Structures are given as C-alpha cells and as structure tokens.
C-alpha cells in the first residue's frame, strides 16, 4: 500500500505544521510535491529543506481563497511536471470565540480559508485529473466537524468539507478519481505550541492514547488515500486523533 512514487502532488498550506508534515511524507515516498502557501518566507524555507534532502519539490505562493491565484498556481505545476495526480487540501485557519460575539468577517474568513479554498482547488485540478484518467483528492477536515463550543465557524466549515468530499466522490468515481477526507485531532503544530501549558496538559488527558499527534501521522493517512492501491476507496473520512473522537 501507499504506492505514490512519482505522483505529482499539490499540498496546500504546505509551508508549516500539518502541511509540511504531509509534504515530507509524500516526498519520502517518491512523490513530486508542490507546496502552496501564502507565507512566502516559510514556503521557501520548507521547499529548500526538502530539496536539500534530495526530494523533488517546488514552492508556489498562492492565496487559495482567490480563484485567479489558484488557477495560475495549478497551471504552473502542470506546466512544469506534466499534469496533476494528487491534491491534498490542507490549508486552514481558525478564529475561536463565542457565537454571539462572532462578526460576519469572523464567519466569512474562516469559511473562505477552510471550505472555499477546497472548492477552488478541486475545480482547478479536476480537469488535469480527467485528462489523465486518474486522480486522488484528499481533503483535510477536523474532529471539530462534530461540533464544538466556540467554534461554530470552524466546525461548520469542516463539516462542509465532509459534504463536499462525498459529493465529489459520487460525481467523479466513474472517472477513476477518488475523493476522501481526514479528520485530525490535536496535532503538534505552531498553533498548538502557542497553547498555554496548563491547557495543553488538560487537553492531553482527553486523548485515549495519551499524547499529541505528529504532522507526519496525518501525512501517512493522506498517503494511504492517495496511493494507487486505494482506488476502491472513495467518499470516506476517518479520524486521526488518538481516539479522541470516541
């Protein structure tokens, strides 16, 4: 399983955190990886780290909430490497607060980054996958899709990701394109590092396996869905959360 050698892969939000972990796993398994991110310095640093390890990687600065930028970024990857095989929709953000304090901008910004971006990226890559007669789309949702206090905007967006995943899976299954989703739990990222220590300790007690997950563990799950061997799996989602979804 996990045969992704040579597959041309886009990872959005690939400059750090879960996205960087996914990119590293794919590259180690032989994929050619294009990193999309809005943060140029972090993006370039991550690309350079991968190239220094002997991986085939490129960096494309892109605001994945803007259709024109997404279209141009995808086209640049296809032009360089001859198509697109895999899209990992990882870009995301949160802005937690009580629902009655939430402004329209707080709602719109989080929906745009977490859900609109996936819509735009899927639309941009699907013609390339259809031309090849092969494709793998892996959408990153979240355990928060189950609902969570103070995360109405984020939970709604991540729930929308699941519905988008299932709808696209149905529409494109007959064209050898699969669409699946991953719901991470608590993962060691720059965002988690900023969490107060007492809260970190409290959160860890809610995880049955007793530890925080690593970005590479999300990467391994994504590589499974993206593999050539996973052609009979589509429209599915699973939690990578140490049992916290139970």
| pLDDT above 90 coverage of the chain, percent | 90
- pLDDT surpassing 60 at residue 150: yes
Structural domain includes residue 89: yes
Q: Which domain holds residue 55?
A: 8-240
The total number of structural domains in the chain stands at: 1
Structural domain includes residue 2: no
Structural domain includes residue 1: no
Structural domain includes residue 38: yes
pLDDT in tens, 153-196: 999 999 999 999 999 999 999 999 999 999 999 999 887 887 88
Regarding predicted confidence, which is higher, 196 or 231?
A: 231
pLDDT in tens, 205-214: 999 999 999 9
Residues tagged active-site: 154
Structural domain includes residue 3: no
pLDDT in tens, 36-57: 999 999 999 999 999 999 999 9
HEC profile for the chain?
CCCCCCCEEEEECCCCHHHHHHHHHHHHCCCEEEEEECCHHHHHHHHHHHHHCCCCEEEEECCCCCHHHHHHHHHHHHHHHCCCCEEEECCCCCCCCCHHHCCHHHHHHHHHHHHHHHHHHHHHHHHHHHHHCCEEEEEECCHHHHCCCCCHHHHHHHHHHHHHHHHHHHHHHHHCEEEEEEEECCECCHHHHCCCHHHHHHHHCCCCCCCCECHHHHHHHHHHHHCHHHCCCCCCEEEECCCCCC
Structural domain includes residue 245: no
**Threshold 0.85, pTM exceeds:** yes
Structural domain includes residue 246: no
CATH number of 22's domain: 3.40.50.720
């Amino acid at each position: 399983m996990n045969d992704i050698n040579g597959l041309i892969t886009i990872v959005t939000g690939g400059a750090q955190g879960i996205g960087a972990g996914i990119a590293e796993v794919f590259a180690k398994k032989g994929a050619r990886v294009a990193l999309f991110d809005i943060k140029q310095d972090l993006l370039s640093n991550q690309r350079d780290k991968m190239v220094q390890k002997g991986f085939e990687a490129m960096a494309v600065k892109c605001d994945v909430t803007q259709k024109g930028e997404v279209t141009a970024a995808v086209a640049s990857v296809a032009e360089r490497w001859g198509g697109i095989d895999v899209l990992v929709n990882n870009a995301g953000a949160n802005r937690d607060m009580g629902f009655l304090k939430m402004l329209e901008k707080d709602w719109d910004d989080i929906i745009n980054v977490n859900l609109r971006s996936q819509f735009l990226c899927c639309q941009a890559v699907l013609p390339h996958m259809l031309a090849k007669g092969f494709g793998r789309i892996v959408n990153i949702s979240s355990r928060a899709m189950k609902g969570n206090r103070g995360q109405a905007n984020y939970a709604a967006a991540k729930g929308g990701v699941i519905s988008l995943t299932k709808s696209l899976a149905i529409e494109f299954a007959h064209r050898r394109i699969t669409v699946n989703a991953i719901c991470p739990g608590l993962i060691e990222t720059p965002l988690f590092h900023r969490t107060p220590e007492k809260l970190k300790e409290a959160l860890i007690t809610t995880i049955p396996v007793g530890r925080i997950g690593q970005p590479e563990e999300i990467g391994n799950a994504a590589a499974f869905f993206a593999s050539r061997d996973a052609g009979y799996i589509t429209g599915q989602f699973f939690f990578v959360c140490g049992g916290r979804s139970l």
